[in-house]
Structures are given as structure tokens and as C-alpha cells.
Structure 1
């Protein structure tokens, strides 16, 4: 799927051109969902046992898994429809507006078990529309970069998103979520400070995503009729079979990245929850950790973007995944030492999350055959969504198993959820072994010459 932007006639080879900044602004807008909703504020609020019941943490995992399954089922049909009708801008706009509306509706989730499933439903639905919109957004990186700077462009987008997370989390902490009333006088009575924060996040999403929505355009339709859900899966199978014959390394990348990207999603989804439930962080401490984590991740992603262009994304991915597994194990075994372990090694782990995501996006942009970037990113999204329930299932299963074996409440063994995420990262790393460096998969000069300006 490819959405073209009006770049004011600037060359696509420019690293920080107007169109790159506009493209990256969507990352800033979506940071409200990634950081505030799913990681450090709303998910933590929704898994508070005294507010939403003792099974709230595990229920979050099962609900997230269900959302992933739904995305996996719908992504091929939506992707094929957008490709063939050319209505990529329409899909991006619809999903972005729906995301903002769903985040805004979280204001109505009051601190009571009666509202738990409303919160979980809104979280699952917002996850669905965000993932569909991300398919379009990620595919645009090949339209605004060249093989020589795609690592920097991809890293810049992720890095700017982290900066947005820092600013938004700090504003919410100071303005609303402090233990006493924040700058705007909103208290924590009836969790109003958290609920108002969701309304602010909805506005943030609209404001920063709007530039891309206003400048992107639908592309000409392909002229091929939509084949529906089952036809889309048939097309998907044929595409993968062709890739297996022509570029087996790319198939291995699609499979392995689908697995380890779900592990990365698990880190984001459950990181704040683990801080609160397993390590006893207070709400404001979770947000402070979120600010620090996004600062570390943002700087690291921009720096690793330079490294990506120098040594190649494959080395960045392997090194980052291996480091994350080691650091996550230290967090697990170091729990008896208390919150300081999570502060030190949890932050160290955050160094590698953004670079892995950015390098994965740049790798695919580098190896996509000329004229097939849309199809490749469609496969990238679809294969990712096909296993998007793994980390959630492993997280909740690990906690449930630990609870049954030990006879302790699930909240007391919440730290075991991290083992499930480690397993996903390790499997992703193992299946990444057959993936060749991008320079062995495609000739970069030929690819650069084959491209036409967006």
C-alpha cells in the first residue's frame, strides 16, 4: 500500500525534507496511543486490582490477544481492498479518526468492575484501528527515502514519536496525574485525572496526525476487482509462494520479524503494567518511568538509525534482540532487589526496542523489489498480525501457570509474564538466522535507479 504526499516539489533524497517531517508527525500523534493508552497510563489504570478486580491483569492479556486475532483476520482483505481501489488515504484517515474517537471514549471508563469490560473493549478496538492505519503509514517510508538514507528516515520517525511521548507524558503528569490536583485542578476523585487525560490524548492524536491526513492522497486504482476476504488470503498465499521461490531470505525475514515484533509489542503493552503490578510503582512513578524510557528510546533510535545506514539493519536487529533477552532475564531474576532493578535494567532494555522496529522497517524498504513496496509492506503487516496474539497469550499463560503451580494470586506472580515475552523474542531471533544482509538480497544502486519520485 502506498500513499503519496504532496512534498512541494522537494527531492525524495532529502533526509529532513518537508514530506519526511509531515510523515513523522503521524508518529508523534500516535504516540498518545502507544505510550499513554497501551503502556503507561490507561492500561495500568485498567489493571489496578482494587478498581477492576483481581483478574484485570490477565484479562488485559486475553483481550489484547483477541484484538490481534481480529486484525490478523481482517488485514489481508483491508490491505487488498486499499491496494486495488487506491483508497489508501481513505483508510488512513478513517482509522486515524476512529482511533482518536475511541481514545476519547475512554473518558467514560469509571473506576469500577462494572466498567472493566468497557475499557477492555475500547482498548481492543483502538488497537485494531491503530494497526490497520499503521500498515498504510509504514508503507510510506519507501516513498520518502532512498536505500542510502532509509535507516535515518525510519529512525527519525520512531525517534520523533518517542519525543512526542515524552512531551505528552510530562504534560499529563504535571497537569493532571500528580497525587494531588495538577496544574489544571483536576483531582483523582472517581479517577477523573486519568479519564480527562484520555480526552487530552484524543485531541493530541488529531492535532499531530492531521498534517499527514491533509497532505496525503489516494493513488490511482489498480483496476483489479476486490476479491474479498478469502480471495485476499489466496493472493497472500501466492505472493508468499512466489517470494519463497525467488527470495527465500525475505520470507524468513517476514516470518521472523512477525514473531519478534509481537514480542516488542508485548514489551510496550505490558511494560507499564509490570512496573505497577510486579514492582509496586505508584501511578506517577510509572509515568516518570515512561518519560525516562521514551527519552532513552528516542535518542537510541536516532543514533541507531545512523548505525543502520553504516553497518546494515540486520546487525542492528540481531544485536538488539539478543541484548533485550539478556536484560529482560535480569529484570526477572532481579525482582527481589526491588524497583531499582526495573529502573536500571528496564531502561537499558528500552534502548533496543525502537532501533529494532526502525531497522525492521528499513530492511524491508531496502529489499522490496522495484514497484512492489506496497505488496511487501502488506505482507509485512499481514504476517505480523497473523501472530499478533502470541505475546499476549504467552504473557497471560505464564502468569496463569505460575499462579496454579505456586498457589499464589495472579498479581503476586505477575513478574512471570516477562518470561512469556522473552520466549517470543528468542524464537524471533532464532528464526532470523537465515535472513541475509540486505546487500546480498538486492542491489541497492539498481533499486535506487528504479525508483521514481513520489
Structure 2
């Protein structure tokens, strides 16, 4: 195992005196653009269009018994999209850590980012051809795209320590999240005009949906060009070991590189025992991020089932959240620079607890109350995730960025199982009461906040071999 380099003097980024040099500033802006590029997949494909469209195709293709067959497995048409989501998440759990290990081992992060991004973008564009009874093609393309976007985000996140000093990282991470929300909101606005007024454009509803989904893939592909032309690979970790006399990871290709990355991953997982506070942070993140992802994923269903609100209200709330979350991410980033990321995250979790506690008492049919709650979510949504990302980056041993962000990303994806399970159990136990089901999520926020409060962040940073920023 290669020897780790010495602690980074200022968090991993080049020491450029009082401020970053012009080249580093350009590289940061290019890094932000990838958030702008890929966020449309989450906003347009996952949050709005694909689920209802794929379900409608499956229902149209159902047999006389009202069920569809997927590789010989008979299922209800409404289960296709959730099962496809679960399959893609399962594949992410298996592959994302290995992707991170491979990126660190080869040192070719930019090339890997490009390959993964374009696999996802072209799979998303392929959704345009999903029509009639092509629900199996749609499900397969979604699995590929969702796996690719998750893997690309692992590599993307691993650039953060190279682009920002310890004291700059909260702000840089927050700007990335904010840029992503803005990009998603702008494209979704155009898509919703096309979707809601498709008759005026001479389009059938299904054709309008396919155009909207394909446009997300085109957007993703076009704007990915920017980070690919600006981001630079840097030698570190395994690559640095090679420079000291070991095998050159950058020259390893094919099966050798893949096998070596799995071996490196196994060593990384074992090494977590030497960083117990990093591990404790990961567990805390699993819990509170589980609550966040479940609230987001079930908000539209809650609005429909518990509040009786129509699709226009739901779409309007989604769009509003995207624009407000842009400002919210910047706001919490600014607070984090002064109060510290840990304190700011804990403060945002208090807001999340309040949101989950208040949701069950909203009046049925009250769009105003639902929008107020969505506004509160939007303020803390991006900031909680952006500051969690930047805080975790301080807890990673130098040269292990992509590997550890692979573990971080599967904490994100894997935790979605827990929230969905909690909602399902609560609905089953209460006879379908969505108000009590949502209230059950308060456990994740409280437990996650308690564990995060127990993490000694400055000590965790020192144990990882990094220098702590002025405010953590």
C-alpha cells in the first residue's frame, strides 16, 4: 500500500497566497458547471417526468390480469418504477466505492468523469424513444442513467479538496449546489411550459414528455464539456506512491486497474477503523440524509394523499423549491463560513425536525400552507447537503478523496432504503395515514443530529492528516 503524503497545508488546494489564482478560479467555475449540468437529471427525470410516464406505459401494456411481465416476473404496473429505482440503487451500492477507488488508483479523474457523464447523458436522451409499450426499455435506460450519474458524482466530489483550501471549502461546495439548483430550475421552467401547453405546440402529451426528458440528457451532455476542458488531474495517493518508486497507477489499464481498485477499496474499508470519528460522521449522515431524501421523495405523494392537492400545485412547489434552494445554499454557505459547518448543519436539522413535526397538522386543500412548508425546506435543503459534503472532505486522508466519496455517496443512496421502509411500515400500521407516516421520519433527524453533535470534528480532521479550517 503506497505511503500517504504529508498533511495538506491548507486543505489540498494550491497555496495561492491571499486568494486563488486566475487558473484555479477558472477551474472552480468549471467544477460548478457540472452541478449545473447533471442536476437536471434529478430535477426533471426523477422528480417530475419519468415515474408517471413509465407507469402509464406499463399500465397500457398490462395483460388481461392487469399485470406486466419483467423477465418472467409478473408484477403490478405501478411497481415497475420503484423496482427500477431499487435496482439502480443496489448497483450503486456495489459499484460506487469501486469507482472511487479506481479514480484514485489511476489518477484519471477527469477522463472517468467524462465517460460516466456521457453514459448517463446518452441513456437519458434515449428516453425519447420510449413510447407505446416500451416500458422495459425505459426502465433499463433509467437504471443505466441513474447508476452513471451516481458514479460521476463520486468522481466530481473528489475534486473538491483540490480546488479549495480548508477555509474556502464550505463556500465552494455551497456555490456548486446553488449552481445546480439554478440550472435545474431554468430547464424545468422551459420544460413545464412545453408540457403544460403541449396542445399549443401541436404535440401530444406523451410526445411532450419525451422531448422534455431528452432535453435533460442534451443539457447534461452539452454543459459537461466545460468541466472536461478545465478540470485537471492531480497526482496524489496512489499516484504519488508510484512517483516514489512504485508501479505507475496512471499506466494501469483494463482488468489490472479494476482488480487493483477493488483491492485498494478493501484496504480503505478496513482503514476506517483507524478513523472512528470519520466513520461516526458517516453514520450520522446516513441517518439525517435518509430523512432528507425521504421527505423529498414522498412530498408529492403526501401533497396528493394527505392534503388532496392537485398536480399543478405539486409542480409549482417543485419549481419554487429549485429557485429558493439556490439562494438557500448560498445563505447557509455564508453562515457556515462564520459559524462553522457543523453548527450550521445542526441548525438546519432543527428546521428539518420542525418541518416534519408541522407537516401532519397542515390543513387539507391548503396550497398556501404547503408552499410555506416547501419554502422552509428549500432554505435548508441545498445548504445541509453542501456543507455536509465540504465537512466530510476535511475528514478524508490525503489521496483517498474519490474512495471516501464513494463510501459517502452510497451512504446517500443506501439510506434511501431505510426511509422508504419506515414510511411503508408506518402506512401499513396506520391503515395508510400519510400524516403519521411523515411524522415517523423525525427519528432520523433527531438521531442524526445527536450523532453529529457527538463528533469531535477538529480531532477527526487531525486524525485524517489535514489541517482544520478556522471555523468548523
1:411-433 Cα shifts (integer Å, max 9, x gaps): xx566663565444344334323
Q: Which residue in the other structure is 2:391 paired with?
A: 363
- Aligned residue for 1:148, secondary structure, equals coil
1:192-211 → structure 2 map (5 Å cutoff) = 192-211=207-226
- Aligned residue for 2:294, secondary structure, equals helix
Q: Which residue in the other structure is 1:68 paired with?
A: 89
Provide the rounded CA distance (Å) in 2 between the counterparts of 1:47 and 1:78: 31
Greater shift in the superposed pair: 305-314 or 216-225: 216-225
The answer to whether the aligner puts 1:178 opposite 2:186 as a matched pair is: no
Contact 1:40 1:273 in 2 (8 A): no
Q: CA RMSD in A?
A: 3.5
The structural deviation recorded for 1:209 is 1.8
The answer to whether the aligner puts 1:166 opposite 2:185 as a matched pair is: yes
Q: Which residue in the other structure is 2:176 paired with?
A: 157
Provide the rounded CA distance (Å) in 2 between the counterparts of 1:127 and 1:417: 27
Provide the rounded CA distance (Å) in 2 between the counterparts of 1:122 and 1:392: 23
Q: Which residue in the other structure is 2:126 paired with?
A: 105
Structure-2 change in CA distance of 1:290 and 1:234 (3 Å)? same
1:275-354 → structure 2 map (5 Å cutoff) = 275-276=303-304, 278-334=306-362, 336-354=364-382
Provide the rounded CA distance (Å) in 2 between the counterparts of 1:282 and 1:239: 50
Provide the rounded CA distance (Å) in 2 between the counterparts of 1:335 and 1:109: 39
The structural deviation recorded for 1:319 is 1.6
Q: Unaligned regions of 5+ residues in structure 1, if any?
A: 1-6
Structure-2 change in CA distance of 1:186 and 1:262 (3 Å)? farther
Q: Which residue in the other structure is 2:99 paired with?
A: 78
Q: Which residue in the other structure is 2:244 paired with?
A: none
Q: Which residue in the other structure is 2:69 paired with?
A: none
Number of residue pairs aligned between Structure 1 and Structure 2: 424
Provide the rounded CA distance (Å) in 1 between the counterparts of 2:90 and 2:27: 34
Alignment partner of 2:231 out of 196, 216, 219:
216
Provide the rounded CA distance (Å) in 2 between the counterparts of 1:236 and 1:440: 20
Q: Which residue in the other structure is 2:161 paired with?
A: 142
The answer to whether the aligner puts 1:28 opposite 2:47 as a matched pair is: no
Alignment partner of 1:253 out of 263, 281, 284:
281
Structure-2 change in CA distance of 1:320 and 1:144 (3 Å)? same
Alignment partner of 1:133 out of 152, 155, 159:
152
Contact 2:166 2:394 in 1 (8 A): yes
Contact 1:274 1:414 in 2 (8 A): yes
Q: Which residue in the other structure is 1:4 paired with?
A: none
Provide the rounded CA distance (Å) in 2 between the counterparts of 1:115 and 1:267: 30
TM-score, normalised relative to structure 2? 0.78
Q: Which residue in the other structure is 1:236 paired with?
A: 268
Greater shift in the superposed pair: 419-428 or 46-55: 46-55
Greater shift in the superposed pair: 385-394 or 95-104: 385-394
The answer to whether the aligner puts 1:124 opposite 2:143 as a matched pair is: yes
Q: Unaligned regions of 5+ residues in structure 2, if any?
A: 1-12, 67-75, 240-246, 250-255
Provide the rounded CA distance (Å) in 2 between the counterparts of 1:358 and 1:135: 14
Contact 1:391 1:420 in 2 (8 A): no
The structural deviation recorded for 1:61 is 3.8
The structural deviation recorded for 1:140 is 1.0
Structure-2 change in CA distance of 1:431 and 1:9 (3 Å)? closer
Structure-2 change in CA distance of 1:391 and 1:107 (3 Å)? farther
Provide the rounded CA distance (Å) in 2 between the counterparts of 1:420 and 1:61: 21
Provide the rounded CA distance (Å) in 2 between the counterparts of 1:300 and 1:287: 20
- Aligned residue for 1:14, secondary structure, equals coil
The answer to whether the aligner puts 1:431 opposite 2:451 as a matched pair is: yes
Provide the rounded CA distance (Å) in 2 between the counterparts of 1:419 and 1:61: 22
* Structure exhibiting the larger radius of gyration computed from Cα positions: 2
Q: Which residue in the other structure is 2:438 paired with?
A: 418
Structure-2 change in CA distance of 1:338 and 1:426 (3 Å)? same
1:208-248 Cα shifts (integer Å, max 9, x gaps): 222012233445563366446863553233221121xxxx3
Contact 2:360 2:435 in 1 (8 A): yes
Provide the rounded CA distance (Å) in 2 between the counterparts of 1:292 and 1:116: 30
Alignment partner of 2:20 out of 14, 24, 27:
14
Provide the rounded CA distance (Å) in 1 between the counterparts of 2:159 and 2:170: 14
1:273-305 Cα shifts (integer Å, max 9, x gaps): 544565455444433222211111110110110
